[in-house]
A and B are shown apart, each in its own frame.
Chain A
Amino acid sequence: MTLDTLDSDSIDLNNTATNYQISLRNISKVFPGNNNLLDKLTGKTKADFTAIEEIDLDIEHNTFVTIIGPSGCGKSTMLDIIAGLSTATTGTVTIDGQLVDKPGPDRGMVFQNYALMPWMTVKDNIGFAVKTVYPKMPVKQQRRIIKENIQLVGLTGAENKHPHELSGGMRQRVGIARALAINPQILLMDEPFGALDALTRGFLQDEIERIWEQQRKTAIMITHSIDEALLLSDRIVMMTKGPAATIAKVLEIPFPRPRDRTTVENHPDYLKLKQQMEDHLYRETRAVEASRIK
């Protein structure tokens, strides 16, 4: 983890001293259980659940960060807090020195289940985002942005199709285009390829790599795939198992860009990094299983 020399309480709005865009300070999330008197009387008590505990993380501009960890370690909770969809129990998230307390179009989100509106066509799904974020933009310009982003993800020709007429991979392309169309500073992706088959997954990873090289937006992605993380990331954040998950280690990925599968796999550090990640995930997953048996 990068050491932060700045005092977290005195956040400088003209944050030029550091290059950090996103800062998480002491983030914990506790999902309250049922502990009040009524619950005790009815015998339906449930203990509080601490999903993540005391997470500190700094992310520089224009970096691609992946978060990887065993199932149920609170990765999605962390991303939801950065997105502003969920609030942290303790701690703060700042983006360029501004406190995050609600969702906003400076962060584009790609959802695991695509979250496309089934009654809208491809064009309308992306258009809904553009028109919501830029309501005063001339219609012509809105149309151009929609068209460009459809082109960017390779869906030209499918503009007027509804999501149910598309394959899973195509749907997620729409999801990615929708997130990018509002021109966010930060792209948040919650296991974007989790529901796709291996081949489609590979295609979309290449696509993300290509788009990222073009736009270089700060990106935070959650994944379960070691290869995916190594192909795309500048840094990989490895989490410990939940409950009370926290950051175990942050790996710097030195592979030169632009990348492709072959050059990445032939890099001298590739096997070492992969081994390190496998060891970590294997250990944590075993620990998760052991705690379930107890």
Chain B
Amino acid sequence: MTAVQKNVIKKDNQFLDNENVKALLLFLLSLGIFLLFWEMGAKLKWFAKGMPTASLTIQELWYWVTHPFYNNGPNDLGIGWNLLISLRRVAIGYTIASVIAVPLGILVGISPVAFKAFNPYFQLLKPVSPLAWLPIGLYLFRDSELTGVFIIAIASIWPTLNNTAFGVANVDSSYLDVSRTLGASRWRTIFKVIIPAALPNIISGLRISMGIAWLVIVAAEMLLGTGLGYFIWNEWNNLYIPNILVTIFIIGIVGIILDQIFAYLEKLVSFGKK
């Protein structure tokens, strides 16, 4: 073994030199400082009146995580039930949106004329906040549950539609040349070449849609009753800040999990790209 090789091995063995270890230590350090600052600040009344301490908030978090499911009526429902209600609304609305957006996106993407003709609708509706649809939903359905689902569907349709149409319209032309030289039928080309080639775009569209759906559900539920959004709103009415902080944390964690599911799917269809 040469001196250089020995050196390399020695370096690898130095635990603290590892980038991930360094990052973890920095993360823990910053978290510690943050919690300490919060605790002291709250105790010494540096912040707004009634600001809870970090220790109280963590106690509440522990309480909610260990007692997620109980039911004492709509204004005192365990956080687990509220989470499941939110997830159910997202699942239904999101599924409806995807079932419409993916086939429609494929149809629009296949035809350059359709792509150009329908693009203005997508571009116009994409930047509109889904909450702007809330009155329309309430007016149409006269039902808070259906309105919630409607808002999720309308919020999560655009990214998937847009990405699917873009992916289908921009399939590598050499794949299409292969299909043409083999004399493949239109249907065979669509199902065996165009859709698989556009799949990475379709999945990333679905991922963005899921992110938006999860953002929107909390805001929509504040106006609807039940669900995590309503839980936050209810705690605001009770003026009990620790539970609001706990819910924000839980919403974040669930958001990460949902996003990671799609990150995994993206990896499955990337085949060496990225």
Identify the A interface with B (CB < 8 A).
83-85, 102-105, 107-109, 111, 113, 115, 117-119, 128-129, 132-133, 162-165, 178, 182
Structural contact, A115 and B272, CB atoms closer than 8 A: no
Do A132 and B188 contact each other (CB < 8 Å), given the known contacts A103-B183, A117-B197, A162-B271? yes
Chain A residues whose CB sits within 8 angstroms of the CB of B188 once the complex forms: 132
User: Which of A108, A119, A182 is close to B271, meaning CB atoms less than 8 Å apart?
Assistant: A119
Structural contact, B174 and A115, CB atoms closer than 8 A: yes
Complex: chain B residue closest to A118, CB-CB: B271
- Interface contacts (Cβ under 8 Å), in number, total 65
Top 3 A-B pairs, shortest CB-CB distance: A164-B272, A115-B174, A118-B271
Structural contact, A182 and B182, CB atoms closer than 8 A: yes
Do A164 and B182 contact each other (CB < 8 Å), given the known contacts A115-B175, A117-B193, A119-B196? no
Chain B residues whose CB sits within 8 angstroms of the CB of A118 once the complex forms: 271-273
User: Which of A113, A119, A133, A165 is close to B174, meaning CB atoms less than 8 Å apart?
Assistant: A113
* Bound-state Cα–Cα, A113 to B193, Å: 17
* Bound-state Cα–Cα, A115 to B180, Å: 12
* Bound-state Cα–Cα, A58 to B192, Å: 36
Complex: chain B residue closest to A124, CB-CB: B192
Nearest-neighbour CB distance to chain A for B225, whole angstroms, equals: 45
Interface residues as binary, B140-178 with A (CB distance below 8 Å gives 1, 0 otherwise): 000000000000000000000000000000001011011
User: Which of A111, A133, A163 is close to B183, meaning CB atoms less than 8 Å apart?
Assistant: A133
* Bound-state Cα–Cα, A128 to B178, Å: 10
Do A105 and B175 contact each other (CB < 8 Å), given the known contacts A162-B271, A165-B272? no
Chain A residues whose CB sits within 8 angstroms of the CB of B193 once the complex forms: 117
Chain A CB within 8 A of B181 CB = yes
Nearest-neighbour CB distance to chain B for A134, whole angstroms, equals: 10
* Bound-state Cα–Cα, A182 to B181, Å: 11
Those of B227-274 within 8 Å (CB) of chain A: 269, 271-273
Structural contact, B181 and A83, CB atoms closer than 8 A: yes
Identify the B interface with A (CB < 8 A).
172, 174-175, 177-184, 188, 192-193, 196-197, 199, 269, 271-273
Complex: chain A residue closest to B182, CB-CB: A132
Nearest-neighbour CB distance to chain A for B197, whole angstroms, equals: 7
Structural contact, A133 and B182, CB atoms closer than 8 A: yes
Complex: chain A residue closest to B193, CB-CB: A117
Do A164 and B174 contact each other (CB < 8 Å), given the known contacts A117-B193, A128-B192, A133-B183? no
Nearest-neighbour CB distance to chain A for B185, whole angstroms, equals: 8
Chain A residues whose CB sits within 8 angstroms of the CB of B181 once the complex forms: 83-85, 103-105, 107-109
Structural contact, A119 and B183, CB atoms closer than 8 A: no
Chain B residues whose CB sits within 8 angstroms of the CB of A83 once the complex forms: 181
* Bound-state Cα–Cα, A182 to B178, Å: 12
Complex: chain A residue closest to B271, CB-CB: A118
Structural contact, A111 and B178, CB atoms closer than 8 A: yes
Chain A residues whose CB sits within 8 angstroms of the CB of B178 once the complex forms: 109, 111, 115, 117, 129, 178
Q: Which of B179, B182, B269 has the most CB of A within 10 A?
A: B182
Do A117 and B177 contact each other (CB < 8 Å), given the known contacts A129-B182, A162-B271? no
Do A162 and B183 contact each other (CB < 8 Å), given the known contacts A117-B175, A117-B197, A132-B188? no
Nearest-neighbour CB distance to chain B for A135, whole angstroms, equals: 9
Do A103 and B180 contact each other (CB < 8 Å), given the known contacts A113-B174, A117-B196, A119-B199? yes
Do A109 and B199 contact each other (CB < 8 Å), given the known contacts A103-B183, A133-B183? no
* Bound-state Cα–Cα, A133 to B222, Å: 58
Chain A residues whose CB sits within 8 angstroms of the CB of B175 once the complex forms: 115, 117
Structural contact, A105 and B182, CB atoms closer than 8 A: yes
* Bound-state Cα–Cα, A119 to B200, Å: 10
Nearest-neighbour CB distance to chain B for A149, whole angstroms, equals: 14
